[in-house]
């Protein structure tokens, strides 16, 4: 069986801000996939959504996101249009199976957090002198991020990145959001857990940021959109497959590429999970 484990934001789905930044018009080709307070806030190309619906019947599709589970549930296509058996949220800290959290995985993560990195409060104290511009938010009592009101300098990013690394944490800048993530909270490890649980033989994966690199590293077929946070640094390494296009078009290109993999493969359709 093949799994398609994919990041969501700025990989498959795009907010209005992300579409604007990447020069993608919000036109009749786009369809809403997420609502907040009754308003549409994220989109996909309609052709990409239809292809993902088809693809989800041919393999095990697993959304893998840095969002909390509550934020993830706003993406209504995963309850109304595309059946999802597994979802990975909070950057790999939580796995839900048919809507129920897998406590054995959660306990594994909590044990690693206690052993391998500093407490978030200790890291926050070390960062106080930088006076990062923006509101700080804490997600699932696991990690924190800043919604920046202005860009930080490359030197500031380097300095805080070094402090984070010294304390067992990772740094990732995604649009206006600056994430501080404990290293044991890892998308790749969560996907490997599902792979072993389901006897998966091949994994196609997609992601756009530094936090997605551990996910892509465990994939047989890793894809990264050309606009990705790490694309310029990783393209020369020839490790991942990069899209020709950017923005929502890249999301469609990735889904089409996975669809072609399935067509070329002799792997049978997934059994009922």
Two tokens, residue 135: 């509101």
Two tokens, residue 101: 């959290």
What is the model's pLDDT at position 271? 44
Tell me the whole-structure pTM to 2 decimals.
0.90
CB atoms within 10 A of CB 161: 17
CA atoms of 253 and 246, how far apart (whole Å) = 9
Which residues are within 8 A (CB) of 108 and not within 5 positions of it... i.e. 6 or more apart?
A: 193
The pLDDT mean for the chain works out to: 93
Task: Report in angstroms the alpha-carbon separations of 132 from 105, 129, 149.
Answer: 33, 9, 9
Q: Is the pLDDT of residue 236 over 80?
A: no
Q: For residue range 175-186, list pLDDT tens digits in order.
A: 889 999 999 999
Give the residue ranges of DSSP H helices in 135-186: 154-166
User: Domain extents for the chain?
Assistant: 2-109+185-266, 118-182
Query: Average pLDDT in the 190-216 region?
Result: 96
* pLDDT band (50, 70, 90) for residue 1: confident
pLDDT of 268 over the 80 cut: no
> Predicted confidence band at 18 (pLDDT cuts at 50, 70, 90)?
very high
CATH superfamily label, 2-109+185-266: HAD superfamily/HAD-like (3.40.50.1000)
DSSP single-letter state for residue 221: E
pLDDT in tens, 77-114: 999 999 999 999 999 999 999 999 999 999 999 999 99
C-alpha 153/C-alpha 131 separation (Å) is 13
């Amino acid at each position: 069986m093949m799994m398609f484990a994919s990041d969501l934001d700025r990989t498959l789905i795009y907010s209005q801000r992300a579409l604007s930044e990447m020069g993608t018009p919000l036109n009749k080709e786009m369809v809403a996939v997420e609502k907040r307070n009754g308003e549409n806030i994220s989109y996909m190309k309609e052709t990409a959504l239809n292809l993902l619906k088809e693809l989800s019947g041919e393999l095990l599709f697993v959304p893998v996101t840095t969002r909390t589970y509550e934020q993830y549930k706003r993406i209504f296509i995963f309850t109304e249009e595309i059946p999802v058996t597994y979802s990975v949220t909070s950057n790999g800290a939580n796995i839900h199976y048919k809507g129920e959290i897998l406590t054995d995985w959660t306990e594994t993560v909590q044990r690693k957090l206690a052993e391998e990195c500093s407490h978030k409060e200790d890291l926050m104290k070390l960062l106080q002198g930088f006076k990062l511009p923006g509101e700080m938010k804490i997600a699932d009592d696991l990690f924190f991020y800043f919604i920046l009101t202005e860009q930080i300098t490359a030197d500031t990013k380097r300095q805080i990145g070094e402090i984070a690394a010294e304390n067992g944490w990772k740094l990732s800048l995604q649009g206006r959001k600056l994430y501080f993530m404990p290293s044991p909270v890892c998308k790749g490890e969560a996907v490997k857990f599902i792979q072993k649980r389901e006897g998966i033989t091949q994994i196609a994966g997609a992601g756009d940021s530094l936090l997605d690199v551990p996910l892509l590293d465990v994939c047989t077929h890793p894809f990264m959109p050309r606009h990705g946070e790490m694309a310029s640094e990783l393209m020369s390494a020839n490790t991942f497959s990069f899209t020709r296009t950017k923005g929502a078009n890249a999301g469609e290109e990735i889904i089409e590429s996975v669809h072609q993999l399935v067509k070329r493969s002799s792997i049978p359709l997934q059994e009922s999970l």
